[in-house]
Amino acid sequence: MNSAWRSDRLVAVFGGSGFLGRYVVRALAKRGWRVLVATRRPDLAGHLQPLGGVGQIHAVQANLRYPESIAPVLRRADAAVNLVGILRQSGRQTFDAVHRQGAENLALAARAAGVNLVHVSALGADPASASLYAKSKAAGEEAVRAVLPDAIILRPSVIFGPEDLFFNRFATMARLLPALPLIGGGHTKLQPVYAGDVGESVARALDAGAQAGASYELGGPEICSLREIMAFILKVTGRNRLLLPVPFGLAKFLAFGTEMAAKVSLGSIPETFVLTRDQVELLRQDNIVSSEAAAEKRTLEGLGISPESFEALVPAYLVRYRKFGRFTETRSA
């Protein structure tokens, strides 16, 4: 906790109550920012207050789909951060509404208020992608750029941390299922990035540590195939499971089944077990930092951050998926 926080800088973090939000809020609080956590459900943001000094972090209600809720949050702010994103569509929470229109609404409000904006997108953002998620992320970046050319865009790869829905998802599946699916054969390459490093990159971007108008691609130190990551999860959790290659076509068929089951159950199925057709499409493309971004130092290293290794950090929180937890051996009675 930062007991000597400064009171002259105020940042509004939209979507700050989510998984990545706690790391961004912590990094900003350590740097002395006063933080407004703008979220649809302020009552669910109480866990963030201990990350700063007394009165340093405060939750307020806002929804990027409704522009009139954004302006009051930015009235006294010096900067804004957009972390709002969804992994699958539900009702009015569509990819277009959240990732494109929501980003544009915030950019317009930030321009009107005269505040700087850091927009967190995704490494797979691509206007030509068959994935609606990736396409909407690219549309959001374009909308932000059209309104605020100097906005800083951060594009992280798969984000990991104790609360993630990536390593935890497959570790849960390994505990309950006899096999883990290797979508597309498990050849897709990923570059998992630690949530704490992404949070620090946001803080450095706001503290003039990033080039105005630039897009940074954030990846960790390891580039691994999906198969290699699955094997790592099985080794860490001590599970002996079959790694089963699943062609993309079959994977989309199975994903359709989990989507329908989730709709019928009205949300009672945990997010861990819901695979969407759009997520299958995402796995058709590698999710790694481009050679152009690396050459131009538009990376974590370019921001002065040495990325953390998932091989070093993930075992500490996947230990709970072992059959006997932290105890690797049992003694006979």
Residue (of 199, 190, 174) closest to 222 by Cα position: 190
**Which residue's entry shows tokens 């990159």?**
201
The pTM of this model reads 0.93
- How far is it, in rounded angstroms, from Cα 230 to Cα 240? 11
DSSP alpha helices (H): ranges in 51-166? Answer: 71-74, 95, 102-113, 132-147
Quick: pLDDT tens for 134-184. 999 999 999 999 999 999 999 999 999 999 999 999 999 999 899 999 999
| 3-class SS of residue 237 | helix
The per-type count for the chain, helices as H runs and strands as E runs, is 12, 13
Residue (of 235, 257, 236, 251) closest to 187 by Cα position: 251
Does residue 226 lie in a domain region?
no
Does residue 41 lie in a domain region?
yes
Task: List, in order, residues 6 or more apart from 267 with CB less than 8 Å away.
Answer: none
Q: Is it the case that residue 323 has pLDDT exceeding 90?
A: no
- How far is it, in rounded angstroms, from Cα 42 to Cα 157? 28
Does residue 96 lie in a domain region?
yes
Domain that holds residue 67: 10-161+190-221+287-307
Does residue 301 lie in a domain region?
yes
CATH of the domain at 142: 3.40.50.720
pLDDT band at residue 299 under the 50/70/90 scheme: very high
Does residue 104 lie in a domain region?
yes
Does residue 130 lie in a domain region?
yes
Does residue 144 lie in a domain region?
yes
Task: List, in order, residues 6 or more apart from 134 with CB less than 8 Å away.
Answer: 122, 124, 125, 126, 281, 282, 285
pLDDT value, residue 270: 63
pLDDT band at residue 295 under the 50/70/90 scheme: very high
Does residue 166 lie in a domain region?
no
pLDDT value, residue 257: 86
Domain count, the chain: 1
Mean pLDDT of 67-85: 96
Q: Is it the case that residue 282 has pLDDT exceeding 50?
A: yes
